[in-house]
């Protein structure tokens, strides 16, 4: 097992990883920018190292500084969390070249899945169904027109290197394809330094259903069921559930069997999430994330597993020690992502938190790095807390969520808590019959 783990992240996810390390008896090293000197993840770490100025590019994305911090503190493994360097294959390679363990998949798999065109063709070759689309990159406008006409409008132009919903544009008809193609490429070049784009049929009423897997790299792969992440704004998730209100146990089993056998053939290792669109009883793969996801807690609650602990154990070369039939699903879990944003305009609201009172009680979990007196810096992602509830049934989970949201107090900055309170009261949400377009309409209607 590792002697010391450096956590190359900040905020709630840095705390989340510290917690797993502490339970395993492994000391942790926190890294932080100058803007985060007072952050909770620094306060609670065994050791901390300042790795640069506030700008993420010069601190949390600065591979050289992070590797130096690991070397001087004697860490033997790095957990990247999500975001920042977590899906950067070059970084994973550098970590391994320095003789440290990267707590995640192999650099080759990170690279493969980081290119969505390559990811789709790899999955198709392994028998996983895809959203209909172009075979590979679409390099000129004439080809885009031709392929879009063949797929049938509306189509979605997507960046091969895409993430966070960026570099994605819808063309509803032939008049819109030129603009969609150009803006997706421009956005992709600016955000990812790679303007390769491809086309997909734009599905009109899918749900986003994703499957959590763990793999030992020696051919053993298990899944922990699905999460429904259809409640999105601008292609970004706001509320997630496990399991999906739309899926039967038989559908889950069939999807799980297909996905785990594909990953076993790839020789995949550590944690991963396969993302699908689900419409009319059909699953279609869109991408794979080669890291821990923000929404992993809902899976932990229904499966009673610590996914970060498993990631660490697997990276240290331990065996899974259980098979698919050992994994049981119990009850229902829902997560709300609470961000430092105005709940009406979604403008970021950094600033000082004067009071913080998280909810508690049976079946309530809050993953957050907030505390009273903390100043939310303007430089990073606006996620400040995740509220997760777990109960025997979905209806009971909704009742618990309503109760927990009413207890949750954050004073000093505006947050999206009032938006979550409105969502939980909505009968459409309560019935669970929503698609990926539901939340945009809900927000627009208020």
Name which of 80 and 206 has its Cβ closer to ligand ADP: 206
Nearest distance from C-beta of residue 389 to ligand ADP, angstroms: 23
215 contacts: CB under 8 Å, gap ≥ 6: 221, 222, 263, 264, 268, 269, 270, 272, 314
Residues that bind ligand ADP (CB under 6 A): 131, 156, 162-165, 200-203, 206, 208, 232, 235, 275, 277, 286-287, 436
Name which of 71 and 186 has its Cβ closer to ligand ADP: 186
Q: Which residues of 9-27 are buried (b: 16+ CB within 10 A; e: fewer)?
A: bbbbbbbbbbbbbeebebb
Nearest distance from C-beta of residue 338 to ligand ADP, angstroms: 20
Could you tell me if 262 and 254 are in contact, meaning their C-beta atoms sit under 8 angstroms apart?
Answer: no
286 contacts: CB under 8 Å, gap ≥ 6: 116, 120, 131, 200, 275, 276, 277
Name which of 52 and 206 has its Cβ closer to ligand ADP: 206
Q: Please say whether the dihedral angle defined by the alpha carbons of residues 226, 232, 236 and 239, taken in this order, is positive or negative.
A: negative
Could you tell me if 211 and 286 are in contact, meaning their C-beta atoms sit under 8 angstroms apart?
Answer: no
Beta bridge partners of 200: 133, 156
The DSSP secondary structure of 338-362, one letter per residue, reads EESB-TTT--B--EE--EEE---ST
Name which of 107 and 162 has its Cβ closer to ligand ADP: 162
Could you tell me if 174 and 261 are in contact, meaning their C-beta atoms sit under 8 angstroms apart?
Answer: no
Could you tell me if 210 and 225 are in contact, meaning their C-beta atoms sit under 8 angstroms apart?
Answer: no
Assign 52 to helix, strand or coil: strand
Q: Which is it for strands 375-376 and 5-7: parallel, antiparallel or unpaired? A: unpaired
Nearest distance from C-beta of residue 39 to ligand ADP, angstroms: 26
Q: How far is CA 187 from the centre of its chain?
A: 21
* Catalytic entry in 16, 252, 291, 400: 291
Name which of 386 and 414 has its Cβ closer to ligand ADP: 386
Nearest distance from C-beta of residue 83 to ligand ADP, angstroms: 12
Name which of 153 and 309 has its Cβ closer to ligand ADP: 153
Q: Cα–Cα distance between 52 and 33 in angstroms, integer?
A: 5
Name which of 365 and 386 has its Cβ closer to ligand ADP: 386
Nearest distance from C-beta of residue 337 to ligand ADP, angstroms: 14
Nearest distance from C-beta of residue 93 to ligand ADP, angstroms: 22
User: Is 291 known to be catalytic?
Assistant: yes
Strand spans (E) along 290-393: 332-339, 351-352, 355-357, 364-368, 375-376, 383-391
Nearest distance from C-beta of residue 429 to ligand ADP, angstroms: 17
Q: Cα–Cα distance between 263 and 258 in angstroms, integer?
A: 9
Catalytic residues: 291
């Amino acid at each position: 097992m590792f002697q010391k783990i450096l956590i190359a992240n900040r905020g709630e996810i840095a705390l989340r990883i510290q917690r797993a390390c502490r339970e395993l008896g492994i000391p942790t090293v926190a890294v932080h920018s100058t803007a985060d000197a007072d952050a909770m993840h620094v306060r609670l770490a065994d050791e901390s190292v300042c790795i640069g100025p506030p700008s993420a590019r010069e601190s949390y994305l600065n591979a050289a500084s992070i590797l130096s911090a690991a070397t001087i503190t004697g860490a033997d493994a790095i957990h990247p969390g999500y975001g920042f360097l977590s899906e950067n294959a070059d970084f994973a390679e550098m970590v391994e070249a320095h003789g440290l363990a990267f707590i995640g998949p192999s650099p080759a798999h990170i690279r493969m899945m980081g290119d969505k065109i390559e990811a789709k063709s790899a999955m198709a070759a392994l028998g996983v169904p895809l959203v209909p689309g172009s075979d590979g990159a679409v390099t000129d406008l004439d080809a885009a027109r031709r392929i879009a006409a063949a797929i049938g409008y509306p189509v979605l132009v997507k960046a091969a290197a895409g993430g966070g919903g960026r570099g994605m544009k819808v063309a509803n008809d032939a008049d819109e394809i030129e603009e969609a193609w150009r803006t997706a490429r421009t956005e992709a070049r600016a955000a990812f330094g790679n303007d390769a784009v491809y086309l997909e049929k734009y599905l009109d009423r899918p749900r986003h259903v994703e499957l959590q897997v763990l793999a030992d790299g020696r051919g053993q792969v298990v899944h922990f069921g699905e999460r429904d992440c259809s409640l999105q704004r601008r292609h970004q998730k706001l509320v997630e559930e496990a399991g999906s209100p739309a899926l039967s146990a038989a559908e889950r089993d069939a999807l799980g069997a297909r996905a785990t056998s594909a990953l076993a053939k790839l020789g995949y290792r550590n944690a991963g999430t396969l993302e699908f669109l689900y419409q009319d009883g059909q699953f279609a793969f869109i991408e794979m994330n080669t890291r821990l996801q923000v929404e992993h807690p809902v899976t932990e609650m229904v499966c009673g597993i610590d996914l970060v602990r498993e990631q660490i154990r697997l990276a240290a070369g331990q065996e899974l020690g259980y098979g698919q039939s050992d994994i049981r699903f119990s009850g229902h879990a829902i997560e709300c992502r609470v961000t430092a944003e105005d709940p009406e305009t979604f403008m970021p609201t950094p600033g000082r938190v004067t009071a913080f009172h998280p909810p508690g009680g049976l079946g309530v979990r809050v993953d957050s790095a907030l505390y009273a007196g903390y100043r939310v810096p303007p430089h990073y992602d606006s996620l400040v807390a995740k509220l997760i509830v777990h109960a025997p049934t979905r209806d009971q989970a909704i009742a618990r969520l309503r109760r927990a949201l009413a207890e949750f107090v954050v004073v000093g900055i505006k947050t999206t808590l009032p938006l979550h309170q409105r969502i939980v009261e909505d009968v459409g949400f309560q019935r669970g019959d929503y698609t990926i377009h539901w939340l945009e309409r809900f927000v627009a209607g208020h």
